[in-house]
Structure 1
Amino acid sequence: MKTMCSLFLCTLSWLSNANEREFEIMEILVPKQPLAITGAGQAVSDLDDQLNYSLNRTIADQLSTLVGVNLTGQGGQFQSYSIRGFSRGRIRTEIDGIPIITDRRAGNSVSFIAPELFSLGHVVKGPSSALYGAQALGGVVSLSTEASDKTQLSVSGQSAGNGIGIVVNHQAHDFTSAFAYQHGNNDQAVNGETLHTRFERVSGLLRYKSSRDGITTTASWLPSYGKDIGKSSRKFPTKQVSSYPKELHSLAQIQMNAGQRWTAKLFHHYQNWDSKTLRLERYDGLTQYQSHTLGGQWLQQVMIDDLQTHWGVDWLSRKGVKITSDYRLFNSDMSANNERVSNEMLGKEDNLGLYAKSDWRWRDTQFDVGLRYDWMKQHNQQAHSAVDSQLNASFAVSHSLSDQLTVGLDIGSGFRYPTLTERFFYGKTPRGLIKGKQGLKPESSLGSQLTMTWFPIEQIRLHSAVYNYQLDNYIQRYAANDEQLSYQNLDTADLHGFETELKWYQNDITEHTLSYQQQAGQDSSGQRLAGLHPRKLTWSMLLTFEDWALVNAYRHYFSANSVGHDEQTRNSFTIWDLSLEYQLNDKQTVSLSANNITNKEHYASLDEDAPFQPERSYKLSTSWQF
């Protein structure tokens, strides 16, 4: 496998000089990923399995340990995440290069895949529409299931919800297979409240790769089936009980690439899931959802003297998007009346994008320029349609002031089309009655970030970023009346923030990571934007000694007294997590982790319906390599 040097260009340069532990680098099915790591693209965070001290319920838990990434929405299996305050359709999430679009109003959760099946993951922070298109207004979460050449069995059990997990990965020559089983019961909060977090799920992976005449062909299939999945909310169980009786996903793709010269990809994502909501004294409803996401990519490299240029075509089509909502109303005494309300939304959309990206170096300065044109059409069964086009550009420059100090500047425009549900959906949801607004305008933004990477001494790396976004036609949900929610465009909005991360390799066995983030934002009327990150300070320490590895981590969240619409204030709190791993022999490892050791009562997000997080919990796992 060829290495992805461009992915870890900045990281490897200082790791190699500090006697660091080695990272495993592999080719993954994400053709655009190396293109994003240029210029001031230093604002990228990578998941590191040795620093994994989260609950690991879903990949969202791991992502939230990165600076600039926070949990958002409610909780449980459908806990979502945000990048620098951007969530839902404003960030792009992809698995092996396949975009994940689920039409869930809380965001595109990837909880349907066991986190153990992901081998690599990185987050691009900053405007990325000039490369990725509509979903990348605030950044990109890119996850890979590409595994190293090994066969492994992992078994785990945890006190949180009496959860269990079994994962088998097998790699033989050009064939890869994996299977994961997960099960958990309802968990419990520190105050004794029952959390609706139960679930049962199986997911897997089949991949075949072959090379011939300089062309590598890869075909893969990633299926998932879940049932009896609880929707965690502070309304459970006294006001509302929501669950997903079933959830089915199937991701398939075929990709061909000729080294770095060109790459071609075709993919398909089918999903079918039901959600059931019992809102006491009001209604009992069932929503059924299904859709097909089809797409293709072509990426070509062209070298003109020292100017490296890539151009490409993206095609994305969503067919058969069907949302059926059927619910019956209750009388005031909880007896059913004869009134039933049924709604159905049928929609589809097509998106075609053309883009080009060039980068070059002049002395100690790296330049990067990108340009992209997108055309989009959406319509529903009533023949209501919306057609729009967008032109976006990006510019990045990175300059080395010395061997120890590099500064960078990113400027880029971004956009987001309203989702099909924001425009056309009408029906009951766990949030209440939602009515879409057909006349919504696309969001647009102009984002900039100034970054600095400093190596004051060989063992220390400091990375900082200051960013600002000017947003137009920002789409926000609002309460049209006591019984109905809808969407509206805000004229303008401003979002800005600061984040910094310090890596200190104290000696051969001790590594420290210290990070801090803060953010603010308001609309044209002076109201605080919803979904912004609270101030957070984290410190983690990794100790590696012979066959032992210990991670000790603290996360301090400052109080949040000023909040946005549909959010709740929150007091400050500190969470302490601990993880210990021991290598029994060259085949088997055992690990024990403890989360929320001080048993602190807290919310994961500022969402007004966010429930408490689980009480102190322990997880024991072991793995064998064959």
Structure 2
Amino acid sequence: MKTILSFLFASTPIMVSAYGEQLEVIEVLAPKESLTIASANHTSAYLDERFTFSPNRTIADQLIALSGVSLNGQGGQFQSYAIRGFSRGRIRTEIDGIPIITDRRAGNSASFIAPTLLNLGHVIKGPSSSLYGSQAMGGVVSLSSEMSDKTQVAGSVQSNNQGVNFSFKHQKNDFTSAFAYQHANSDNTPNGDVLNTQFERASGLVRFKTQHQGYTVTYSWLPSYGKNIGKSNTKYPIEQVSDYPEEIHSLAQVQLTGEENWIAKLYHHYQNWDSRTTRFERYDGLSQYQGHTLGGQWLQQVNLQGLESHWGVDWLSRKGVKITSDYLVVDESALNPLGNEMNAEEDNFAVYGKTHWQWGKVNFDFGLRYDWLKQQSEQSEDATDGRLNASFAAMLPLSDTVDLGLDIGTGFRYPTLSERLFYGQTPRGLIVGNQALDPETSVGSQLSLNWHASDEVSVYGAVYHYDLDNYIDRYETASGYLTYQNLSHAQISGFEAEVRWYASEHFEHILSYQQQSGEDNHQQRLDDLHPRKLSWTMLVHFDNWSLSNAYRHTLDADEVGGTELERDAFTVWDVSVEHQLTDRQTVTVAINNLTDETYYGSLDEDATLQPERSVRLSTSIQF
């Protein structure tokens, strides 16, 4: 096993194809990567920078190219995503190891950062709560801003929404700086409807590393400012208009690395954003959110009687979480002002560890984690809980070309502060929290197969099953507001497969398929499960030319959750052509939704149609 030091910083290893061509494989190795269970590494997925056909609005546009990942929610700039049917607070999103917790009901995402600043991406699929804690029941999206030593200026313009993107990135030795600016008007759908998707955003990065007497100290700061961010939904513009007038984020951390295989870090995420919703002839509301996420981590590699082991301590604290809701309600031609304020805090301390050993040809991993949590609020009694979770993994080489992996793990998710305590108007409607919610728990298992059939062909497949207790479900009451309840039991099962074929030194094909099912204790289908999808991507390389050609065919969705709508089958065709003009400059033309297909991004009942065909022209210059 690699030592812990190899996991402290991101890397971009080079993979040589069967025909000798060097292909850069994007990989991020987060500090806790060395603690992931063995077969979870076999069922991980990495973002590939060769897929340059996405609209590049948020990181969700890139994640959708991975098997086992789908979109959920209403769409637009705050597009959220699901891993194997787990969404909302059930998956963990990290940027440079900092957990992103925004208290948005649709789920946490990294939409406030320009995708051009997130150079590396890694999705862990499988039962991960035993190592990452609450909000990682379904997996982890780990993003990194690390980059190779270079200076790059890039820019693009896009039809349809007149989108403009500009970025500057510089890394030399121990200093990194970057800046990105994005601006777009509202998109149009293929049938001519206008989407409320306009936005303007600026984000940046400063990182500095220094070494002294065997220690490495890394300081980093990642700020972001956005304004006039539209919120899409089916009620726009006739019934409702929602937007985010202003959004501020600041991520900072300091990390200390020693020579004796250990790492220590402290981090801080400050956020302050407003949400405005006007429901014509009903109400006009404004919600203001602010909060601090503080945390730290210690990670140590040890050798216990010849067994490679790791242990660590996590501290996650959320201070000053404040949501103020003010709205005017129309009542018999009069405006009645109403308001509500949520003030809350949350603390989470955890110790965890993992050990690895080999017996014959079989590799085993065993992990344990204990979490202690406490939530405090002015409007409720303190809530505390403790949870012990475990994971076990085995990887058996059936032959020189076939590996079989088994994962079993328990997990949990504590109700979020907004699920328990929030009361107010949102773009979804009136939300009323439920202080009596119990934590969700799960027992997950997965069986994975990796087969290197030849130098040209590799096959990956995985089947998985989760049993969940106290599943937290959002529902609409008879009075018309939204709240949450615990379902006694739910289950999710699924299958995913991927085939990679290096047909020649010029052609590479990637085919993938995914499907899943899930129901609660009343045999009702769960929300946010991804529909059946078949994808084919062809990558072509000739001298200074590269072509990315991708088809995604989503089958009919005639079985949906309680807050979802049935959808017809659709096929999305994306294509991009890149030309290396010089050793330093490339030019790319990308066409998204080439056939101008009319389709929805998710099954959500409030999801809007996706944008019409768009063309993006971009260039990048390295110095």
* Short-chain TM bin: over 0.9
- 1:513 and 1:248 map into 2 onto residues whose CA distance is 39
Equivalent in 456, 459, 464 of residue 453 of structure 2: 456
**1:39–1:368: 8 Å Cα contact kept in structure 2?**
no
Q: Deviations over 1:252-273 (max 9, x none)?
A: 0000112571000100000000
CA distance in 2 between partners of 1:5 and 1:159 (Å): 43
Amino acid at match of 1:599: D
Matched, 1:422 2:419: yes
Residue 94 of structure 1 and its aligned partner are, at CA, apart by 0.2
Cα distance in 2 for partners of 1:4, 1:513 equals: 33
TM normalised by structure 2 equals: 0.97
Question: Which amino acid letter does the alignment assign opposite residue 570 of structure 2?
Answer: F
- Return the alpha-carbon distance in structure 1 between the equivalents of residues 40 and 474 of structure 2: 33
For normalisation by structure 1, the TM-score amounts to 0.96
Which of 595, 610, 614 is the matching residue for 2:607?
A: 610
Match of 2:267 in 1: 267
Deviation at 1:529, TM superposition (A): 0.5
Q: CA deviation at 1:107?
A: 0.8
* Deviation string, structure 1 residues 395-446 (Cα, Å, up to 9, x no partner): 0000101011110000000100000010011111111111100010000000
Distance (whole Å) between structure 1 residues aligned to residue 45 and residue 352 of structure 2: 25
SS at match of 2:50: helix
SS of aligned partner of 2:578: strand
Q: C-alpha displacement at 1:52, in angstroms?
A: 3.1
More displaced stretch, 285-294 vs 172-181: 172-181
Q: What displacement does 1:3 show?
A: 11
Counterpart in the other structure of 2:321? 321
- 2:599 matched to 1:598? no
What per-residue deviation string (whole Å, max 9, x for no partner) do you get for residues 522-551 of structure 1? 001110001101000000000011111100
Contact map agreement 2:150 2:622 (CA 8 A) in 1: yes
Q: Name the residue aligned to 1:198.
A: 198
Check 1:152–1:260 CA distance in 2 against 1; reply closer, same or farther (3 A cut). Answer: farther
Distance 1:65 1:478 in 2: 30
Q: How far apart are 1:234 and its partner, in Å?
A: 1.2
Q: Does residue 20 of structure 2 align to residue 19 of structure 1?
A: yes
User: What SS does the corresponding residue of 1:423 show, helix, strand or coil?
Assistant: helix
Contact 1:3 1:26 in 2 (8 A): no
Q: Distance in 2 between matches of 1:171 and 1:510?
A: 32
Residue 338 of structure 1: CA displacement? 3.6
- Aligned residue for 2:180? 180
CA–CA separation in structure 1 for the residues paired with 2:509 and 2:443: 35
Q: Within 5 A, what are the aligned runs for 1:62-211? A: 62-211=62-211
CA distance in 2, matches of 1:480, 1:185: 36
Residues 291-344 of structure 1, C-alpha deviations (whole Å, 9 max, x = no match)? 000000000000134311000000000000000000001246xx5x14111000
Distance of 1:58 and 1:260 partners within structure 2:
38
Amino acid at match of 1:534: P
Counterparts of 2:286 and 2:277 in 1: how far apart (Å)?
A: 6
**C-alpha contact 2:40 2:125 (8 A) present in aligned 1:** no
2:250 aligns to what? 250
Q: Does 1:55 align with 2:52?
A: no
SS of the aligned residue for 2:78 comes to coil
Displacement of 1:170 after TM fit? 1.2
Which residue of the partner structure matches residue 568 of structure 2?
Answer: 571
CA contact (8 A) 1:310 1:358 kept: yes
Paired residue for 1:547?
544
Contact 2:92 2:136 in 1 (8 A): yes
| Residue 622 of structure 2 corresponds to residue 621 of structure 1 | no
After superposition, where does 1:137-536 map in structure 2 within 5 Å?
137-259=137-259, 261-331=261-331, 335=333, 337-536=334-533
Deviations 1:31-84 (A, max 9, x none): 102332623531100001012321111000000110000011011100010000
Q: What code does the residue aligned with 1:515 have? A: S
Tell whether the 8 Å contact from 1:4 to 1:25 is kept in structure 2 after alignment.
Answer: no
Q: Does 1:559 align with 2:556?
A: yes
> Counterparts of 2:398 and 2:158 in 1: how far apart (Å)?
49
The structural deviation recorded for 1:565 is: 1.3
Give SS of 2:615's match: strand
- Aligned residue pair count: 620
CA contact (8 A) 2:490 2:520 kept: yes
Output the CA distance in 2 between the equivalents of 1:239 and 1:41: 47
User: What's the offset of the Cα at 1:456?
Assistant: 1.5
| Residue 282 of structure 1, CA deviation | 0.9
Q: Secondary structure at the match of 1:193?
A: coil
Contact 2:37 2:392 in 1 (8 A): no
Alignment partner of 2:22: what SS? coil
Shift of 1:517: 0.1
Instruction: Note the alpha carbon deviations across 1:191-226, whole angstroms, 9 max, x for none.
Output: 100000000000000000122222211000000000
**Segment of structure 1 superposing worse, 547-556 or 479-488:** 479-488
Q: Summarize the Cα distance change of 1:603–1:391 in structure 2 as closer, same or farther, 3 Å threshold.
A: same
Q: Aligned in 2, Cα 1:12/1:426: closer, same or farther, shift over 3 Å?
A: same
Letter in structure 1 aligned against 2:265: K
Unaligned runs of at least 5 residues, structure 2: none
Deviation string 1:127-149 (CA, Å, 9 cap, x unpaired) is 10111000110000000001110
Q: Which moved more, 1:428-437 or 1:219-228?
A: 428-437
Give me the whole-angstrom Cα distance separating, in 1, the residues matched to 2:284 and 2:255.
45
8 A Cα contact 1:3 1:27, kept in partner: no
The answer on whether the counterparts of 1:594 and 1:618 sit within 8 Å (CA) in structure 2 is: yes
Shift of residue 588 of structure 1? 0.5
Tell me the distance in 1 between the aligned counterparts of 2:65 and 2:25.
20
Asked if the contact 1:573–1:600 (Cα under 8 Å) also holds between the matched residues in 2, the reply is: yes
Deviation at 1:473, TM superposition (A): 0.2
Cα deviation, residue 363, structure 1: 2.9
1:455-485 deviations in Å (ceiling 9; x for gaps): 1111111000000000000000011124211
The residue matched to 1:54 in structure 2 has which SS? Answer: coil
Q: Does the 8 A contact of 2:14 with 2:23 survive in 1? A: no
Name the CA distance, whole Å, in 2 between partners of 1:7 and 1:175: 17
Amino acid at match of 1:424: L
296-305 or 34-43, which deviates more: 34-43
- Say if 2:394 and 2:405, in contact at 8 Å, map to a contact too: yes
Deviation string for 1:576-623 (max 9, x for gaps)? 000111100011100010011110100000000000000000100001
Quote the Cα distance in structure 1 between the aligned partners of 2:283 and 2:260. 56
1:587 to 584, 588, 595: 584
Q: 1:495 to 1:15 in 2, by over 3 A?
A: farther
- Cα 1:236–1:459 shift into 2, 3 Å: same
Amino acid at match of 2:524: Q
**Any conservation in 1 of the 2:450–2:459 contact (CA below 8 Å)?**
yes
C-alpha deviation, 1:5, in angstroms: 7.0
* Pair 57,147 (structure 1): closer, same or farther in 2 beyond 3 Å: same
- 1:443–1:260: structure 2 CA closer, same or farther, 3 Å change rule? farther
Separation in 2, partners of 1:35, 1:311:
8
Give the distance between the partners of 1:373 and 1:325, measured in 2 at CA. 36
Counterparts of 2:222 and 2:396 in 1: how far apart (Å)?
41
State the 1:16 CA deviation: 6.0
Judged with a 3 Å threshold, the aligned counterparts in structure 2 of structure 1 residues 101 and 569 are, in CA distance, closer, same or farther, namely same
- Separation (CA, whole Å) in 1 of partners of 2:21 and 2:604: 40
Which residue type is aligned with residue 60 of structure 1? A
2:418 counterpart SS class = helix
